Amino acid sequence: MKKFFDDIKKDIKFKSAGPGKKLTEDTSAKPEVVQGRSSGKHDRHAPSEGAQRAGAAALARIEQHQKPKVHTSQDAIRTQVKRELEAEAAALAEKEKAAAAEGSKVPVKDPTLLSVSGVYFICPLTGATLTKSEREVHIKEAILMRFEEDEVEASVMMMHTFNKDREKVKAAVDIISKYVENICKNPTEEKYRKIKLSNKVFQEKVKSVEGSREFLQALGFTSVMLPIEGQEEEEEFLVLPEQSPDALELMKERRDRLQRGEPVRAQLDRQPQAFRPSPNAQRFELPPEFYNLTAEELKREQQQRSELVEKNAMLRTKAMREKEEQRERRKYNYTLLRVRLPDGNLLQGTFYAWDRMPVLFSFMRESLVDGWQPFELIAPGGQKLQESEDIALAECSLVPAALLTFAWDAAVQADIAAAGGKSPTLLKPELLENIRSLS
C-alpha cells in the first residue's frame, strides 16, 4: 500500500503537472501561513485490515492470467488521479495562456503597490496556503493520501468532494445505505451481500459516482469473479463475507458517516494584517482576483463609467441608481476591508463579497485581545453596521474595498471608567509583532 501511494505522489507531481511544471506550492509568492491555523499532519498508521484484504485480493487476481483483468480500487484511484490532474493541468494552462494574451493588452500593476498580494485559501486537511487555481487539485491529492490513514473517511470525502452533482451523490448514498440496511436486516442472506457490477442500477447510480466503490470496499466488500448460469464468462461481483453483530453495528456507523458527509472546501485565508496609522488608509490597489471581470473588461468598464457619470448624474432616479449599484456589486468576488482602531492603527482582512455581517464581526473579535467587549463598526458615510443583521457585505456597498471605523461601546466604557478600570487592549500581540507601514 505504501509503495502504491508513493507512486501516486510521483504521478501527481511530475507527470500530471505537464512539462516543466510541478504541482507543488510556491511559497515565495504567497503570504506566510499562520501556524495556529494549520491543522497539522496526522500520524500515519499501517494499512487497515480491509485495505490488506483488498491488496491480497488484487494480488490473487493478478496471478490468474487466464481471467480478464479486474480493476481494483487502487487502479481506480490511480486512474482517477491521472485523469483529474491532467485535466486540471490542461485547464490551468489554457487559463494562463488566455491571461498572458490579455495581459499584453492591459497594463499590469506593480505587485509592490498592491494592497494585498492576492487571494489565497487554506486547505482544511493539510493547512497549506493555496492560490485559487491550486486549491482543487491539492484537496483531491490530500483526500487520496488519507486512504493510508482512514479509508472510510477518505472514501466519504471522495464521494462528497470529487462529484459536483449533489443530487447524483445523494442518489448513490441512498442506494449504498439501502445495501447496508438490507444486510443488517438479513445478515445470513447471501444475496444481500453480493453486488453484481453489471447491474443497471449500480452502473447508473453508484459506479458513476467517484469514491462509491472505495467506500464499499472500506465496508469490507471485495471483488470476486463468479460464474453466471447460462453464460460462459464469469462476471465481477462485490462480495461481503457474513458479518458478526459487532461488525454489523460498525457498518451502520460507517453508513451514518457517509450520510453526514460534506464536500471538503478550501477556506478563504483572510490574511489579517495590522498597519501603522497612515494617511493612505483609504487608498486601495487590488489584484485581478478580486473581480469577476477580466482585466480588459474591467478597463473598458472603468472608462465607460468615468465618461457617463457626469452626463447621467442628474437624469437618473433613485431606483435607477440603486439598480446600477447592485449591478456594480455583482462584479466583485472578494472585498478588502480595513478597520481604523482608536489608537490609529489599521486592521486589514480579505472577505467574500457575499460574506454576511456576523463574519466581519467575528473576524474583529478574533483579532482583539478584549474581543468579548461590545463594539461598533461604522461604514463610510457614518452608517453603523449591525452584527445581528444577516446582510451581505456587498449589500452594504463594502465592495471591492472599504475603510471602516472601530469604536468601543460608549456606555460600557463609561461604566468601566467609573469603576476605575483601564481601557481595553486592542490588537493581539501576534498581529502587532508583524505590523507594517502602508506604502
- Both 370 and 255 in a single domain? no
pLDDT at residue number 415: 84
Report how far apart, in Å, the C-alpha atoms of 404 and of each of 39, 64, 415 are: 31, 71, 25
Confidence of residue 216 (pLDDT cuts 50, 70, 90): very high
pLDDT at residue 403 is higher than 90: yes
If you write DSSP's letter for every residue of 4-20 in order, what string do you get? HHHHHHHIIIIITT-TT
122, part of any domain = no
pLDDT at residue 240 is higher than 50: yes
pTM over 0.75, yes/no: no
Q: What are phi and psi of 371, to 5 degrees?
A: -65, -10
Encode pLDDT of 363-389 as tens digits: 999 999 998 899 999 999 999 999 998
pLDDT at residue number 36: 36
pLDDT at residue number 297: 55
- Taking alpha carbons only, the member of 171, 135, 388 closest to residue 264 is 135
Measured at the alpha carbon of residue 221, what is the angle toward residues 220 and 225, in degrees to the nearest 5?
Answer: 145
Query: Quick one: which H or E segment has residue 122?
Result: strand 121-122
Domain count, the chain: 2
pLDDT at residue 32 is higher than 50: no
- Both 233 and 142 in a single domain? yes
**Can you give 318-349 as a three-state secondary structure string?**
HHHHHHHHHHHHCCECEEEEEEECCCCCEEEE
As a whole number, mean pLDDT of residues 142-162 equals 96
C-beta of residue 134 within 8 angstroms of C-beta of residue 26: no
Enclosing domain of residue 146: 129-260
Task: Compute the CA torsion angle 64, 70, 73, 79 (nearest 10 deg).
Answer: 120
240, part of any domain = yes
Measured at the alpha carbon of residue 196, what is the angle toward residues 190 and 198, in degrees to the nearest 5?
Answer: 170
pLDDT at residue 76 is higher than 80: no
* 316-320: long-range pairs with CB below 8 Å, 24+: none
- Both 144 and 229 in a single domain? yes
pLDDT at residue number 418: 83
234, part of any domain = yes
Domain boundary pick from 237, 260, 283:
260
Domain boundary pick from 206, 230, 260:
260
Encode pLDDT of 297-318 as tens digits: 556 655 655 555 555 555 556 5
C-alpha–C-alpha distance, residues 244 and 225, integer Å: 24
What CATH number corresponds to the domain at position 355? 3.10.20.90
C-alpha–C-alpha distance, residues 343 and 340, integer Å: 8
306, part of any domain = no
C-alpha–C-alpha distance, residues 266 and 122, integer Å: 5
pLDDT at residue number 77: 60
Mean pLDDT of all residues in the chain? 80
pLDDT at residue number 26: 41
Ranked by mean pLDDT, which of 7-11, 70-74, 241-245, 317-321 comes out on top? 241-245
- Taking alpha carbons only, the member of 127, 125, 168 closest to residue 144 is 125
- Taking alpha carbons only, the member of 391, 280, 271 closest to residue 336 is 271
> Which residue in the block uniquely carries the three cell numbers 500530471?
16
Encode pLDDT of 157-196 as tens digits: 999 999 999 999 999 999 999 999 999 999 999 999 999 9
Report how far apart, in Å, the C-alpha atoms of 433 and of each of 44, 48, 277, 372 are: 35, 45, 15, 22
Domain boundary pick from 225, 260, 295:
260
118, part of any domain = no
24, part of any domain = no
C-beta of residue 439 within 8 angstroms of C-beta of residue 381: no
Question: 64: which residues sit within 8 A by CB, 6+ positions away?
Answer: 225
What CATH number corresponds to the domain at position 240? 1.20.58.2190
C-alpha–C-alpha distance, residues 350 and 273, integer Å: 10
Q: In what order do the strands lie in the sheet with 129-130?
A: 129-130, 121-122, 267-268
C-beta of residue 157 within 8 angstroms of C-beta of residue 144: no
C-alpha–C-alpha distance, residues 355 and 395, integer Å: 10
C-alpha cell at 216: 464499499
394, part of any domain = yes
C-alpha cell at 94: 489554457
397, part of any domain = yes
Q: Is 426 exposed, middle or buried (0-12, 13-18, 19+ CB in 10 A)?
A: buried
